[in-house]
Structure 1
């Protein structure tokens, strides 16, 4: 099992508030968020790579004591996550978790997500349909019918957590689509778009966080939510 954390973006919605440091390096219980995530993944025997770009030295420094492979996207300011993942395509050859590096997950969420035996799956929160960043509309089998930031409230079944998994039996298909899209200059798209393109006839299954805590840091309020949660549940953040 492998994992790739996407940490190349600037995070323009919050950057000025946090003195322009990468969101993933913000401290959670005196530990950089990305360090906590990588530490947990490594403890489960998962090999980890990180896609870096904006202020990559700070991200790499935050992980200097851990065994991590880095892939640098020099075009981070004019491309999106699909391009960052393309630079790491050699690493994608086994069961793999792909996640945004600014996501805080209660460890139980990750443990449950790893149990899915689907070739592809996305992590979601069904309790969040009114406020959020990116939403899915699901069918009766909890598979994705529609997706996007602009879904009408009536079509929202859940919020996307920013974590996906691709199993080894689907890796070659996924990698081929990744290369195809970047070759077609679709480098402005998200990595998830590669999955959507190749699963049109077989909707992607989802796994719900089932009430456990998570947060993606898009705004400073999100960071404060994590800090408040940690202060109330010290044992989870340690």
Structure 2
């Protein structure tokens, strides 16, 4: 198993609260979010980890300076491209075919949730939370474990859960993934998410969705997301994001 963490974006929706630092470097109570994530993967025996950096890359590398073996790639166009371009800049890592997780680096996962993800052997499979519907950011509709619809604009009965920012892919699927990735970059589709590689397959081949409802996760897009993480870990933050144990 290998893991690609995407951390190139600026995070404009919350950046004013973070003193301009990358979202994955927020303090979650005694350590940074990205440190927690790396240590969690190491605990599961996963050490083949790469990150794509962009905005304030030096802050992330300084945060992880004591963690050996992480491969870094850089998206110099992070301010004018989306995450599909970041994935393309890590193509040397992804082309060394193995079972692969691709994950947004600003996502917090409780350990049991990661265990569920690692136990899932469907491919390609995206992970969703069926307990979050109306408040969901990026919404999925899935039926019988297959993705049917997707998008921020979904409403009502078209929402069965919120995408949590992680996909898992088998070694056998990765050549197809890379072919689609190269094709989309060649046709200048660099303003879309890496997940669009999978979305273009919907209706043509099975794209699975695995439910993670009941287990805790949060993506640091808004201050409310950050506060949810702190509460889960037994901390609170004041308006300057100083963290205190509850």
Is TM more than 0.5 here?
yes
Alignment of 1:1-238 (within 5 A): 1-46=1-46, 47-66=48-67, 67-92=69-94, 93-139=97-143, 141-231=144-234
Contact persistence 1:95–1:167 (CA under 8 A)? yes
Q: Which runs of 5+ in 1 are unaligned?
A: 233-238
Please identify runs of 4+ aligned residues in structure 1 that moved more than 4 A.
Answer: none
CA distance in 1, matches of 2:145, 2:160: 9
CA distance in 1, matches of 2:33, 2:198: 27
In the superposition, the TM-score normalised over structure 1's length comes to 0.94
Bigger drift between 39-48 and 220-229 goes to 39-48
Partner of 2:241: none
In the superposition, the TM-score normalised over structure 2's length comes to 0.91
Q: Deviations over 1:23-44 (max 9, x none)?
A: 0000112111011111111222
Count residues in correspondence. Answer: 231
How much has 1:199 moved relative to structure 2?
A: 4.4
CA distance in 1, matches of 2:101, 2:127: 11
Q: Deviations over 1:124-145 (max 9, x none)?
A: 1001000021010111x12110
Contact persistence 1:72–1:84 (CA under 8 A)? yes
How much has 1:71 moved relative to structure 2?
A: 0.6
Q: Which runs of 5+ in 2 are unaligned?
A: 236-246
State the superposition RMSD in angstroms. Answer: 1.1
Contact persistence 2:23–2:220 (CA under 8 A)? yes
Contact persistence 2:6–2:52 (CA under 8 A)? yes
Contact persistence 2:148–2:202 (CA under 8 A)? no
